[in-house]
Amino acid sequence: MHSRQRLAADLRTLGLAEGDVLMVHASVRSVGPLAGGPDDIHLAVKDVLTPEGTILMYASCPRYVDEIGRGNLTADEEAEVLEKLPPFDASTARSDRSNGTLVEFLRTYPGSRVNPHVARFVVWGRHGDYLLSRQPWDYAFGRDSALDRFSELDGRILLIGCDHDNVTFLHYAEHIVDIPDKRVARFKVPVDEKGERVWRDMEEFDTSVGAHVNWPENFFEKIVDSYLAASGNRGGLVGDASCYLLRARGLLDFALPVMKAVAADPGAAIGTPGTEPMETLPMSQLPSSFS
């Protein structure tokens, strides 16, 4: 059984430090048995960061809130959702279950705050107000978003035993990368306007199927794992979980040229273990197949 103090020691060994601005993705189950329950994970992170640090997690919204118009529901299902779904309330709505359980433990813990948007982030700590200070209604993962300010603050990303294909920060890369023919998703969400439920139009570069038709299966996982290999990041254990701590800007600098190359040619390479980060290599020197 792992204690909060043991987890904090593991996080320090991994490289987490006081004052870091940190985006967390976690599988609670992967950490193993916890003496104080799942809250021990975010509490141990806070112990290391201290109040000078900051935590950011992506909560999103419950099922159906952002589904009308995406094409994922049948006509009958859309009609029922349009009839029955209440307005989205960012302060009370549960987090998207696919984002794991830790984000909901953090969201409901004293001292956490959220932004009033279906692209909803949970924050704690020194820079929380700044991260949530502005939020574009459309293209909510791009410029002037919480992810944009997270990058500006030289944030770090902590992966705790989780699926590397779910690194939300790479949606920021998808939004800002300069490539043609991005997929645009247009949909409606239920909001409260002066006591009335209104279905408000929203759009984004498609985060559900990928921003470009050339994105391969598990594209984000391939980018993250290639970046970890290229940067020599072997991670470490936090409790029982295999974990990685990485700089968001480093991942962004790696991902943008990869996205440009794959958008131009679906057979382009992402990288191979043992190479330098891709942005330092001429295209002629890149490996010819995915790692």
> pLDDT tens for residues 93-106?
999 998 999 999 99
Phi-psi region of 251 (alpha: psi -120 to 50; beta: other; left: phi over 0): alpha
Q: Quickly state the pLDDT bin for 269 (edges 50, 70, 90).
A: confident
Residue 281: is its pLDDT beyond 90?
no
Q: Answer yes or no: is pLDDT of 274 > 90.
A: no
List 58's β-bridge partners, or say none: 121
The answer to whether position 239 is within a domain reads: yes
Question: Residue 234: inside a domain, yes or no?
Answer: yes
> Count of domains in the chain?
1
Q: What is residue 270's predicted lDDT score, i.e. its pLDDT?
A: 83
In which domain, by residue range, is 57 found?
4-285
* Residue 109 identity (one-letter amino acid): Y
If you average pLDDT over residues 254-276, what whole number do you get?
81
Confidence band (pLDDT; 50, 70, 90) for 246? very high
Nearest CA among 141, 143, 149 for reference residue 170: 141
SS3 state of residue 269: coil
| CA pair distance 194, 124, nearest whole angstrom | 29
Q: Would 290 be classed as within a structural domain? A: no
Q: Flag whether 165 is in a domain.
A: yes
Would the pLDDT of 180 be above 60? yes
pLDDT digits (tens, 9 = 90+) for 35-54: 999 999 999 999 999 999 99
Q: Is residue 15 part of a domain?
A: yes
Is residue 291 in a domain?
no
Eight-state DSSP code of residue 45:
H
Task: Using a cut of 0.95, tell me whether the model's pTM lies above it.
Answer: no
